[in-house]
Amino acid sequence: MRVKDLPVSERPRERLLFHGPAALADRELLALLLGSGFRGTSAVDLAARVIEHCGDLASLSRSEAHRLLAVPGVGPAKAARIAAAFCLVRRAEAEPSAKRVTSSSDLASVAAPLLRGHTRERLAVVVCDSRGGVLRRTVLTEGGSDHTSVPVREIVTAVLTSGGAAFGIAHNHPSGSLDPSPADLEATIHLAAAAETVGLRFLDHLIVTDTAWRRVSWSDGKDA
């Protein structure tokens, strides 16, 4: 049944306006983004197919637009709307709750929103003043699904040109593993040494997944 053939009180848009978005199922919310279905398939049915194609809602939120084009009935406009909506959510969540970094937990709060929900490894740098106030946070590199570079010289340069006195870095593991690689340990040692050389304070190096984070200790690297 087409959405417009439903009673007004049962249509997703009208239900959202009257009851709020929490009253709608995932497929109904997605149907509002799609806007329409195609011949013989309602927008709600198409939305269900899109979610099934990706596996679940979390996987859909990380899917690139071109992957959605494989679903019959999803063209460039629909795929772009879905990708744009989830990107807006990530940007909103990327606003850090901590404005000052005084602990590893604070660093995770600032850096993790830049890293979570991505299928490629990214390296985020958080630059702070002498009191831990956040001056800048940025994604410096992006690599493949299981690696990204940690360019020590570029990181230190970014901190110095931002007027920072301290910095921390974090990178994501799309695989969900919190175990540091030998390269992670080596990069941490080199960054700590480089920071000391130029008079900067190296706060921490974190590994971030979609649900957790952990420190990469340079003392661990020295023992490795």
**Tokens encoding 74:** 């999803």
pLDDT in tens, 80-130: 999 999 988 887 776 665 588 999 999 999 999 899 888 889 999 999 999
Measured in degrees and rounded to the nearest 5, phi and psi for residue 208 equal: -125, 135
Spell out the alpha helix ranges (H) of the chain: 12-19, 26-34, 43-54, 57-62, 65-68, 76-93, 104-111, 152-161, 182-197, 218-223
Query: Is residue 164 over pLDDT 90?
Result: yes
Q: Percentage of residues in the chain with pLDDT exceeding 70? A: 91
**Tokens encoding 202:** 């190296």
**CATH numbers and ranges of domains, the chain:** 3-93 (1.10.150), 104-223 (3.40.140.10)
Confidence band, pLDDT 50/70/90 cuts, at residue 220: low
pLDDT (mean) for 7-27: 87
pLDDT, position 96: 60
Query: Is residue 175 over pLDDT 70?
Result: yes
